[in-house]
Every structure is written in structure tokens, then in C-alpha cells.
A and B are shown apart, each in its own frame.
Chain A
Amino acid sequence: MEGQDTGCLAKVSGPELASLHPLHHQARLRLTRMLTYATRRILLVIPLLLGIAALNFLLVSLAPGDPVIYLLADSSDPGLVQTLRERYGLDQPLWERFGAYISSLLQGNLGQSIAQGRPVLDAILERIPASAILAGAALWIAAGLGIPLGLWLAKLSLSHPRLERSAFLGILLGTGLPPFLLGQLLILLFALYLGLLPTNGMFSVRGTPEGFPRLLDLLAHLILPALTLGLQPLAAIARITRAQALEVMGQDFVTTARAKGLNERMVHTKHVLRNALPAPITLLALSSGHWVGGAVITETVFAWPGLGRLAVESTLARDYPLVIGVILVGAIGVILANLIADIAVAGLDPRVRYG
């Protein structure tokens, strides 16, 4: 809403106003406010990250049992146990280990994987591209289909309420469908019965081609996992967009927009959609933790070589430094999602950045 922006002019002092061209002034002021807001928001991330590191560290330290014993399943030679404890620094007191842990984290060192015998960071970095591709595709599906679907449902509920209720129940069913179940159903239908799409991995095992055919191969492998990961958030986004759009449609400024002769399409895109959009964006960010969980499941079902599968593999191998590494990366992902969403909402809704 352009009208809401003009309020900020009143807050600017005289000299500042005079030094700028009136047209540039408003855009520039808006940018400054956005930057201030973004900086403040980014600074708040640091204590959160430290807190997560502390939480992980405490969980590991307080858990019963000695990780070295797991590692030496068969032999319990005391000398070997001692050597390994020293090698991983487990013989130091708790607070010293925490200090060492934090300082090595700050240097970008996430520790050594017990099962893989190499730095945790290496094991994680090589999995990030696959996870990013899957999450990106699922995000496009969820937001790209969920938001229009929600708007359509809102319109439908005004014209055909009974029909809309059935559609809403379908959405509710979709929200509740866990990814491992949906994934298996999709495999059954598209891969086994119809024989259309591959069911596991990121590329074909035999003779991976180069260039464009390789991209097509990736796309074919991507469709089912991306649908599996994206459907639950799609349903959730459609649901909240619908509720929000219904609320917005009842507001006076929508009536005004119609009264001044705007056609329905303009009313919906410029007024209803823009005012309803902060809700699904916030929802996406708030549910990003569930996304990580969904990715763990989806990657397991489709043998997708991403971070989620790494988390499961390292859990099964009781490789806790690697599990912690994945948790840290997952938490950073959640924090980033919230950060981006907050800034996007602040960009859409002036009340947030001045409030």
C-alpha cells in the first residue's frame, strides 16, 4: 500500500529533508530504515548460535556412556581407550572442553567425524548442493502452487462455500500426510506402476551423460522427492493464504479499490495478495524446522545424497560429532530462513519496519 508509506515523511527533520531531492528522499529513507532493521535482526543471530552450540555440547556431555566405548565395540583395551580419549580431548574437564569447542567452532572447525575419520565440515560441505537443490525445488512447488491455491480457495469460499469446504478438507488431509508415506505412494504410482520416473539417487548409476542430458537426468530424479517434500508445506501455505486473503477481502480498502474502478485482477494482485503475503512467508520461515525434518525423511526414502541422509547415517553409526555438525547447519538454515522472511515481510509491510 503506497498510502501507508507517506507517514514516514513527518518523522524527518527539516535540514535532512532539504538536502535531498524529494523523490529520491523517500526511497533512500526507506532503504536506510530497512538496513537498520536488517542489521539489528542479524546481530540477534549471534547469541542464538552460541546457545545452540552450548545446547548440543551439554547434551553430549551429560549423556550417559563414553563415546569411545561405542567406537571400540569389540576391544576394550584400556590403553587404547586412553589413547583415543586423549586424541579426542575427552580427558579434559567439561568447561575446558566447552571453551575449546567454541573457539574451534569460531575458526570454522566442526571437529572430526568418528565413523568417517575426516573433518565433519568436509563431510557436510559435500552434501550441501544436493540438499539445496531439493529444498529449492520443493520451495518453488510449495510457494508457487500454495499461494495461488489459497487465493483461489478464498474466492471460492465466497461464491461456493460448500464446495470450498470439501477442498479445505482435502488440504487438511494434505497437511497431515507425512513425507515418508507420500513418498512411498508416489514411488508406487509413478515409478513402479507407471514406470515413468526413477526412484532413488540424484543421477542414473549407469553412464551419466554430460551437459544438457545430465540436467534432464537430474530433473527426472528430482521430481518425486521435490513433490514429497513440498506437498505438506504447499497445503499449509494454501490454508494460511486462504484465511488471510478472506480477512483482507473484507477490509475497507478492497471495497475502495473496487469502487474506484479497478478490475478484479488488479484488486486481487495489488491489494489482496500484497496484504495477505506476509502470513505465508512467516509461516514458511516458522516451519523451516519441519522442512529440515521432512528433508531427512524424503532423502532417506529416495536415497537422495543430501544432509538429511547424512544425519540418519551418522545417527545409525553413533557418530555424534557429525550429527552435531548437521544440527548446527540445520539450525543455521532455520535462522537464515527466519532472517530472510523477517526482512521480506518488513519490505512488504511498512508497519513492521517502523514499529
Chain B
Amino acid sequence: MVREKSTTIRKPRARNRLGGELFFVGLILGLLLVAGLIPSLLAPQDPWRTGGPALAAPGGEYLLGTDQLGRDVWSRLIHGARTSLLVGGLATLIALVLGGLVGLISGTVGGWIDELLMRLAELVDTVPGLLLALLVITLIGAGIWQVALVIGLTGWTGLARVLRSRLVSIREEEFVLGARALGMSEARVALRHMLPLAWPALLALLPFRLEGAIMLEASLSFLGLGDVSRPSWGGMLQDAQPYLRQAWWLVAAPGAALALTLFALSLLSDHLQRLSNPKLRLGRSD
């Protein structure tokens, strides 16, 4: 890519800094992925085993100390990563499928269907996501699938809008007109000629969506409305509340894990936004 080359020549320092930041992102997300996929590799103990001394300080046998029931905080942290990743990933997938479908239909079909779908997106955006999640949990209870579903159902609107706006601008391009003139069906034009140009914009939004989903999952768990049968960072933070004074590590461990994960994801999404939007990359602005 010519543009990237010119950036390298103009700002070698910026390039190095970028590398450092992306290395950090890769490190955190890599750790998260390993913890989520094979928790037994990193966690020395069963996250539910209550054998240890209660509220033992970090260090020694228990790397990050133990909680009020004598469970190993480090092991719970690793297994909690799995919950975050599972719920966050599932919710993002649901949002991607829903948002992709709605955006594709809205952006290619147009007309009253487009109008209707966009009004629907507006409606979903008006209802605060956490409150809608509370209602659904009131009605169908809290399990890992329900929580993922709820988060996915509230998170598709931004994705749909971005895909739609990309498609609407592509729709006016000459090659689309050309493809139609060759007698291709509308569906083929949309899927083979328009979508490949539009979906990178969607992809750039995914870390941002994942960040929101992980945050919402942690919020629900913190409120005691997540899946209580799995260790989760939000749940650990809730459990820690009565012991704030005696055991700082009960807040520090899940808090740091959550903050680092969210930070890495927002850094990644910041870089992706820059890459996918040349106006931001070349200008002096954000």
C-alpha cells in the first residue's frame, strides 16, 4: 500500500510507538484467549474448591490470595476470562449477524423496508440497553445464553447503521451500475459487488462491540443478574464488596483484569478506526 509507505517515511517515530501499543494489545488479548480456551493450562486449582484459608493475602501458595470462602482468586480470574469471552463473543456474533442482515437489507433494498428497519434501530437505541436486559432477565431468568442473547439483541444497531451507510454510498458507484447493466440479479450485485467493499467497515467496529458486550456482561454479573453457575469478573467484584477493607486483592485482581481487557480492546478499535478511515489517518485530527 502506497499510503502506508508514505506514513512510514514521514513519521518513523509514530510507527514505533504504534508497534508498542499493538504489542500490548496482542499480549493482553492473547492471554485472554488462552485463559478462555484452555483455563486449566493457567489455573492451578478448581475455581470452586473452598479448601484454602479464607481471605489469605496474595503471594505464596495462592498467587493472588483467596476469597472469603478460601477459593483461589487467580484460578477464578482465569475461569472468569472464559465467561467474559464466551458471553462477549456470543453476544458480538449475534449482534454481527443481526446488524449485518439488517444493514444489508436496508442498504440494498431501500424504500419503506429501509425506513422501517431504521426506525426499529432507533427504537432499540432509545431503550437503555442495561434496562432492556433487566426486563428480559426478569422475564426469562439469567443464564449464560440468555445474557448473551440480551446483549446481542441490544448491540446490533450501530453495526447495521454503519453497513447501511457504506452500502448506500457504494450503491451510487459506476461499477454497480455496470454490474446491473450486464444483467446481474439484484442479490448478486449486492452480495458479490457491494458487500465485499462494505464489510471491512463492519469488521473495524467489532472490537468496540466486544468491549461493550464484555462491559455489559460484567455489569449484569455485578448486579447479581448474570449466570451464577460460572465464575465471572463482575460477580467477583460483587462478592468483594463486604470485604473491601480487609482484602483489597479481591477488588484489585478482577478489576485489573477487566480494566486491562477493556483498555486493550478500545486501543485496538482506535487503531482499526484510523486504518479504516483514511481521513483520520492522514489528517492531524484523531
Q: Name A residues whose Cβ lies closer than 8 Å to a Cβ of B.
A: 47-48, 51-52, 55-56, 59-60, 63-65, 157-158, 162, 165, 169, 172-173, 175-178, 180-181, 184-185, 187-188, 192, 239, 242-244, 246-247, 250, 289-293, 296-297, 300, 311-312, 314-316, 318-320, 323-324, 326-327, 330-331, 334-335
Contact = CB atoms under 8 A, between A and B. Distances in A.
Nearest to A291: B128
Contacts of B251: 181, 184-185, 188
Interface stretch (B52-60, B63-71, B85-93, B211-219): B211-219
Main SS class of interface, B? helix
30 contacts: A51-B119, A52-B123, A63-B136, A165-B17, A172-B267, A176-B211, A176-B262, A176-B266, A180-B219, A181-B237, A181-B251, A184-B255, A187-B244, A246-B283, A247-B283, A250-B283, A292-B128, A292-B131, A293-B219, A296-B134, A300-B223, A315-B135, A320-B135, A320-B138, A323-B134, A323-B135, A326-B131, A327-B131, A330-B131, A334-B128
Contact of A296 (B131, B138, B267, B270): B131
Given A48-B123, A239-B286, A247-B285, A180 B222 contact: yes
Contacts of A326: 131
Main SS class of interface, A? helix
B259 interface: yes
Interface residues of B, number: 51
Closest 9 pairs (CB-CB, A-B): A293-B130, A243-B286, A176-B262, A63-B139, A292-B128, A246-B285, A289-B128, A315-B134, A247-B285
Nearest to B233: A181
A242 B225 CA distance: 37
B61 interface: no
Contacts, number: 158
A246 B136 CA distance: 43
Interface of B: 17, 21, 119, 122-123, 125-132, 134-140, 211, 215-216, 218-219, 222-225, 234, 237-238, 240-241, 244-245, 248, 251, 255, 258-259, 262-263, 265-267, 270, 283-286
Contacts of A291: 128
Contacts of B215: 176, 178
